Every structure is written in structure tokens, then in C-alpha cells.
Structure 1
Amino acid sequence: MLKILFSPSEGKNTGGNEPSKDLLGSNDARATVLQTYNDIIMSKDEEAIKNLFGIKKYSSCEPYLQDVFSSPLMSAIERYSGVAYDYLAYETLSASEQEYLKSNTIIFSNLYGPILGGDPIANYKVKQGNSIGSIVPEKFYKDRFSYQLDLYLGDDEILDLRAGYYDKFYKVNKPYTTLKFLKDGKSISHWAKAYRGKVLRELALHNVSSIEEFTSLKINGLSFLETKVTKNKTEIIYTID
């Protein structure tokens, strides 16, 4: 089967009514991060909270000041908003297409670490690159989850659609495929998020189960340019029409 590695988003949707369940990987290790995060947001220490969230005004922090252990839960693939998720347009997909994303997408959260798209999470705020107390999330999760991810991915093929920052959470140790988008011969950055979301949508629409199936897809707005192979990474390069 094909597994897709994906980035989270600073933006979140509120609410949720998903029941709690064990998440991907070690929940004991994850509990350490969640407890540290919860201690900060429940401390009423305005400066510590603003620093964690990366927000200047304390009044803007209030939507996130809920006990993370008793907050409403929503599947990760639904929780995140932002450019990539706007182009994914999850809510417009069929039930089977949504289930594909919940089962086959691994999102690298700044709070929860690697989680499946269907894993239920609270509404939270951690600015990318910020520590949670003394915990550096990308280092913590790389140290404690990499072996578990290696085992979980097993013989699955991997399409890595993460933004470069999230490579810090997990280094793929077997052959995998990634994408690059060019406009007028130059690599794009911000709008790459849109095309990653668009590609993820196409994967769900066509129930893609292998890299071979993916490479045969015709994706509106993208034209195949070339493939580059470096060590265990295959990079497929597209031009934006």
C-alpha cells in the first residue's frame, strides 16, 4: 500500500465530536509532551503562553486555552486548515475517499508528532519551531518514534509530501518518492502547499495504492518534467501550467 507523509498547518478548525483512542506510535512518550503543553496553557502565565503559541496578543490565545485532555476531538485530517487543506477540500470527498486519507496519510504535528489522518486530536497551538517547555518536538519525536515508524511503514511505498521542515521529525530510511514543483523554471515555496494539497486530493479520488499508479495520473495544472534519483530518494519534478 502507499503511505503519504504530510505536514500540519498553523490554522485549525474548532469543535469536534470524535471519541478518544490510541494514536499512532508510543502514547506513553506522547503523553509527556501533551502534559507539558497542558501545564503551560493552564498556568495562566501569559508570556509563556504567547511564546508557545507565537501570538503577540494574549486575547488572541483564548480559543486555545482549553485542557487538552478534555477538549473536543476531531480527526487530524479534518482539524487542520490552511492552504494545503483548502486545496484538499476534504469535506467535498466521498466517505470512502475520506477513509483513504484517514488510513493512509501520516501528518507530522508539532504537538502530537506523527499521527494518522484519522487520529482524533484537540484544537491546539504550537508555532512551528517552538519548544514546548524544555522539549524540542522535532528532536523528541525523531528520537522516540523513528523506529516505530520504520516498523509501521514496513513494506509500504512512501510518497513524502511534507514541507522540508518536517524532515526533522523523521528521516525515511528506505526508497521513497517526493515531488518538486517549478514555475517558469524556478522552484516555488508558498504555493507548493497548494499543489501538495491538490496531489493529496487526487490520491484519494483515485484510491491510489502504489507509486506506479500515482505516476500514471494526469493532474490538472501540472505537467511531468523529469525524475531524479539520489540515493534512496526519487524526486518527480512537475511544471505548473
Structure 2
Amino acid sequence: MTNSLIALLPPSETKRDGGSTVSASLFGPVQDEAREEALTELRALAGDAEAHQRALKLSDKLAETERARNLALCDAPRMPALERYTGVLYDALDVASLPDAARTWALERYVIQSALWGLVRGSDAIPAYRCSASTGLGKRSMKQRWARACAAVLAEHKGVVLDLRSKSYAALGPLPDRDDALVLEFVTRMPTGELKQLNHFNKQGKGEFLRTLALADSEVHEQLDAVGDMEGLCSVLRALGIEIDPISEREAMVAVGDPRQQRLGQSTTTG
């Protein structure tokens, strides 16, 4: 089997409505039992308006909209997961504006860690829903529900795995213990040269990074598929102009622009 890169993304609480009635099987069928269990329990939870709002920590403004989504999960229209999610990361990636070849590559190579569906490819068709890593469904935690099945999917994958997930979602699918399963942390370089954590703002940096990878040419994509360790990844990314600094054999920091500083610069020059 030919090796291929996949990048693991966190989901977003916000999702686009709409889609079609076309449904298909999802990535990693070993997860199907957990998916069915989570789906059944979420729909049952949605049957009780107060319990649903409390469990999902929803405001009064959002409670009924999100409950309606969860009640209609089995019959709701679907669209590719990478197009379903909105928010800072997905807006920065902006998959809809990618050229056809780049969009196809992203849909196949970007895998989202969902609390309801497990690991899904960007091309997998899913409905709009509301459920997070902290949502209580039934008697099991999300980690207990997903960790074994998701870990099995990742262990079976042939090729580099880039982990861009937040910690709460990374816990739902532990990486395999091998040289090409790599964790990327996103930081910004300060004027002093110091690297600083971006916290919430790292989502935009992740989206821009993912867009850069998708827009790379076929030769770069082949090089990414051939990556076997951190050294190989750094070589490919640096050639793309991406600043990456390893902090261990399987972890690295990717330095991106700070959106707060960019906005400050814009207001200074236009004010």
C-alpha cells in the first residue's frame, strides 16, 4: 500500500447548515459501533430539552437550534466534513476557494476528530450536529468511547500522521508509537526572537498552514507522503518557507504570524 500523509484536525462547535441527502460510509469502519452508540445516545438526550441544554452547556439563544439539529441527525442533509465546519481554523483554510486539485487533496488528507463521528475524512458526508469532547453521553466518557477504535484507525494508516488537534480531542485518538506520527504546536515569534504560545489564535495559524500544504504542487505532496520522521518533515516544510523547530523526535513548534500583531499593524498604517 502506498504511503500517504494525513493531518488530524480538531472540530469546531460552529457548523454550516445545508447539504444533500446523499449518504455514504465513513472513514475507519472499526469506529462504526461507537458511532452508532454515540448517535443513539445524543438523539435520546435531545429528547429532553432541559437535559440537552445543560449537558451541552448551551445558551438560551442556541439551545433550541442545536437541539433541533441533534433530533434530526438521521434524516438531516449531509455535506463533506471539511465544508461543514466553520470557525477560525476552517475559515482560514477556506477549502471552498481552493483550486480543484488542492481542494481534492485537502478533502482526502485532512481528518477531523469528532466527538460524535470519531475520525472522519474531510470528504466524509456528515450532518450538522452539536456534541463536544466534554459532552456527557450515557455512562462512558468520550475518551472511553473513542480511544481504542480511533487509535486502531491511526495505527493501521500507512504514512505520516500530523497531529494538529487540541489536547482534549487528541485524547480521543492516541497516536501510534512510531517515528512518522508527529505532533505540531503552533506559536508566534516575537520581535525579540522569543517563541510564544498563541492560545486561541493558534487556530488561524493552523488553518493557514493547512492551506499552504494543500496549495503546494504535486512534487511537494509526493515528498510529504514519503516523510518518515521529524527530520524529513522539517526539510519539506522549510522548503515551503514554513518555520519549524523540533522540540523532540516527534514534536515540533511551527511559528506563524500573530493575528493580533497583524491587525495592530493594519490599524497603525490606515489610521
TM-score w.r.t. structure 2 length?
A: 0.78
Equivalent in the alignment of 1:94: 99
What corresponds to 2:38 in structure 1? 33
1:239/1:92 CA distance change after superposition, 3 Å = closer
User: Residue 228 of structure 1 corresponds to which residue in structure 2?
Assistant: 247
Residues of 2 paired with 1:204 and 1:18: CA distance? Answer: 28
After the TM superposition, list the runs of 4 or more consecutive aligned residues in structure 1 that deviate by more than 4 angstroms.
none
Cα deviations by residue, 1:18-53 (Å, 9 ceiling, x for unpaired): 621111123233111111111222x1x121110233
- Please tell me whether Structure 1 or Structure 2 has the larger radius of gyration of its CA atoms: 2
5 Å-filtered alignment, 1:165-184, equals 165-173=168-176, 174-175=178-179, 176-177=181-182, 178-184=184-190
> Which stretch shifts more, 76-85 or 177-186?
177-186
Q: Which moved more, 1:176-185 or 1:161-170?
A: 176-185
The alpha-carbon distance between structure 1 residues 53 and 213, as it changes in their structure 2 partners (threshold 3 A), is: same
Q: TM-score scaled to structure 1, two decimals? A: 0.87
When the two structures are aligned, how many residues end up with a matched partner? 231
Instruction: Check whether the contact 1:64–1:123 (CA below 8 A) recurs between aligned residues.
Output: no
Q: How does 1:17-28 map to 2 (within 5 A)?
A: 17=20, 19-25=22-28, 26=30, 27-28=32-33
CA deviation after TM superposition for structure 1 residue 58, in Å: 6.6
- Give the superposed CA RMSD: 2.0
Shift in Å, 1:74: 1.1
Alignment counterpart, residue 205 of structure 2, candidates 189, 195, 199: 195
What one-letter code is carried by the residue in structure 2 that aligns with 1:216? A
Gap runs ≥5 in structure 2: 225-232, 259-271
Identity of aligned residues (%): 24
Which residue type is aligned with residue 135 of structure 1? R
Structure 1 gaps of 5+ residues are none
Matched residue, 2:14: 11
> By how many angstroms is 1:200 displaced?
0.6
1:42-101: per-residue Cα shift (whole Å, max 9, x none)?
A: x1x121110233213176432541421111111110000000011011111122211111
Aligned residue number for residue 257 of structure 2: 240
Greater per-residue strand proportion: 1
